[in-house]
Amino acid sequence: MNNKRFNAVVNIIILLFFVISAISGIIIWLILPGGYGFGWGQSKLFQDAGETLSKKFLELSRHNWMTIHIYSSIIFVILVVLHDILHWKWFKSLPKILKS
């Protein structure tokens, strides 16, 4: 695999993990807040057999969403570091770029 293809694959995977992290974070923040938040999970729209989805959303508990969020965020950060390593020459050339 050549460098351009490898870089493209890394970028696509970075995007994937960013989206997973962002979506899980929004779900934790807005739909399954831990005592604070907007309480959207209390809406009748999100009721399931008398229980609100403040405890579950898409059959996953808040704990499961937190686990997804934490691991996807860690993988995202690792991939961004890899991305930066792949573009290290560009970072080194920034002083010249900024001077001109």
Cα gap 28→35, rounded to integer Å: 11
Is the pLDDT score of 2 beyond 80? yes
Q: What is the domain range of residue 33? A: 3-99
Cα gap 40→21, rounded to integer Å: 20
Q: For the chain, how big is the Rg over CA atoms in Å?
A: 20
Cα gap 31→64, rounded to integer Å: 13
76 falls in which pLDDT band (50, 70, 90)?
A: very high
Side-chain half-sphere exposure of 34, counting CA atoms within 13 A = 8
Question: Which burial class, exposed, middle or buried, applies to 24 when counting CB atoms under 10 A from its CB (0-12, 13-18, 19+)?
Answer: buried
Q: How confident is the prediction for the chain on average, in pLDDT?
A: 84
pLDDT, tens digit, for every residue of 34-70?
Answer: 764 455 555 444 544 444 444 789 999 999 999 999 9
Question: Which burial class, exposed, middle or buried, applies to 57 when counting CB atoms under 10 A from its CB (0-12, 13-18, 19+)?
Answer: buried
71 falls in which pLDDT band (50, 70, 90)?
A: very high
The pLDDT score that the predictor gives to residue 12 is 97
Domains contained in the chain, number: 1
The pLDDT score that the predictor gives to residue 50 is 42
